């Protein structure tokens, strides 16, 4: 039985964690299958953007504690929790969050480039309640995304916030009624996919670089000799939509 489903929707890949009975908690199988889905997204030139969501009205409850107690790991070497949180993807990834995004579930959402949240979604990092810390990126990324003291409150109390609060803090790009996150995320994916794939990859590379100015110089030099830049300029001059080739 597959734990992760994929569906091609135009130029986007909709990736769904499909363990609703376990609130889409991440075990070894989910991590392996999610990692494979991301590899497929990266390898396919027809796919421009990924959308990650969960089945049954829940994004993910995080690590499957029962599986962990039996020795299973929810991590993929070099790629982090769920095969996602430390993966260096070149293509944009959008989290469509319904219901619970707790622990590693929240960290997977933080590992995405954009977040669409349901109004009643619950984002939390309860690891301290279990003697742990949010080591899948939570303690690293959250203080970079929102004000320090708010991040520390979430990390130190382990208490969740809802989707509306996430939106007000700037954690979510869109906050929508429950049941609409995947559709809105796919709309965002369509907007993103209109743009040059090499440029999108360059944006991601510069943003995650330790020396962003140096990375920016390298990436712009590569882009300026690409066929896509010439196509973008030509299309503008000819008042037509560009036809990207990714070269």
Strand partners, 83: none
- Which one from 3, 33, 98, 127 is the annotated catalytic residue? 127
Instruction: Check if the beta carbon of residue 174 is closer than 8 Å to that of residue 95.
Output: no
Q: For residue 209, with 0-12 CB atoms within 10 Å meaning exposed, 13-18 middle and 19 or more buried, which class applies?
A: middle
- 180 as an active site residue: the answer is no
- 127 as an active site residue: the answer is yes
89: Cβ–Cβ under 8 A, 6 or more apart, which residues? Answer: 38, 41, 42, 50, 204
- Nearest Cα neighbor of 173 from 217, 133, 121, 117 is 117
3-state DSSP call for residue 134? coil
DSSP character at residue 74 = S
3-state DSSP call for residue 14? strand
- Which one from 3, 75, 107, 219 is the annotated catalytic residue? 107
How far apart CA 173 and CA 152 sit, in angstroms, is 21
Q: Which residue has the tokens 């690293």?
A: 140
Residues with catalytic function: 107, 127
């Amino acid at each position: 039985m597959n734990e992760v489903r994929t569906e091609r929707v135009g130029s986007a890949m909709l990736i769904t964690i499909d363990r609703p009975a376990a609130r889409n908690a991440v075990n070894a199988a989910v991590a392996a299958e999610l990692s494979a889905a991301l590899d497929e997204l990266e390898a396919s030139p027809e796919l421009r953007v990924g959308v990650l969501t969960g089945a049954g009205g829940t994004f993910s409850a995080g690590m499957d504690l029962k599986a962990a107690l039996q020795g299973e790991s929810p991590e993929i070497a070099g790629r982090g929790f769920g095969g996602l949180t430390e993966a260096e993807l070149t293509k944009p990834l959008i989290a469509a969050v319904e219901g619970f995004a707790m622990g590693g579930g929240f960290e997977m959402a933080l590992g995405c480039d954009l977040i669409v949240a349901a109004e009643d979604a619950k984002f939390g990092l309860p690891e301290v309640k279990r003697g742990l810390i949010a080591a899948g990126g939570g303690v690293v990324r959250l203080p970079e995304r929102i004000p320090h003291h708010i991040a520390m409150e979430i990390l130190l109390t382990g208490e969740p916030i809802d989707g509306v609060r996430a939106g007000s803090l700037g954690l979510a790009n869109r906050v929508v009624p429950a049941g609409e996150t995947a559709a809105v995320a796919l709309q965002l994916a369509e907007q993103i996919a209109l743009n040059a794939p090499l440029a999108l990859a360059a944006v991601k590379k510069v943003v995650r670089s330790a020396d962003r100015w140096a990375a920016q110089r390298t990436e712009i030099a590569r882009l300026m000799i690409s066929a896509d830049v010439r196509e973008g300029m030509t299309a503008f001059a000819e008042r037509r939509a560009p036809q990207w080739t990714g070269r």
